[in-house]
Amino acid sequence: MVAANTNPKPVTSAKVKVQKGMRPKHVPQRTCIACRSHDAKRGLVRVVRTPEGTVEVDETGKKNGRGAYLCRYRDCWEAGVARKALDNALKIQIDPESRKRLKSYGESLPERSAADVE
Ligand SMILES: [Zn+2]
């Protein structure tokens, strides 16, 4: 009598593999402070409040300090700077010099309507 084969595969719970590396990458949710949307395709531009109390565009996204994000569209920069959304986001009263710089940076960007055409 051979009875050894009546037993199907032994279930060993210890063999359950923990799937590692399946975790989705941590992608911080960045929202444009002007239009409240995010544009993963074109990306957002970081604006940072420096320890000196000025506000500048942080193209590298690596500067220290409180940051806020704006779309790469002129519209959002105009709205963000003019409506003080940026001031609120950075919890600072943006000084006139910084405001001027941010404005002119925004003016170098394309308009949303033009940029959206595919
Ligand atoms: Zn925007």
User: 97 alpha carbon to ligand 1 midpoint, in Å?
Assistant: 23
Per-residue pLDDT tens over the stretch 105-118: 999 999 987 545 54
Q: Residue 114: its pLDDT value, please?
A: 54
Residue ranges per structural domain of the chain: 28-112
18 alpha carbon – ligand 1 mean position (Å): 40
The pLDDT value recorded for residue 65 is: 93
3 state DSSP class of 43: coil
- Alpha carbon of 72 to ligand 1 centroid (Å): 7
Name the CATH superfamily housing domain 28-112.
Answer: YlxR-like (3.30.1230.10)
Ligand 1 centroid–CA 63 distance in Å is: 21
* Alpha carbon distance 6, 29 (integer Å): 55
Q: How remote is the CA of residue 16 from the centroid of ligand 1, in Å?
A: 46
Q: In what helix (H) or strand (E) does residue 21 lie, and over which residues does it extend? A: none
For all residues of the chain together, what is the average pLDDT?
82
3-state secondary structure of 5: helix
pLDDT tens, residue by residue, 59-88? 988 899 999 999 999 999 999 998 899 999
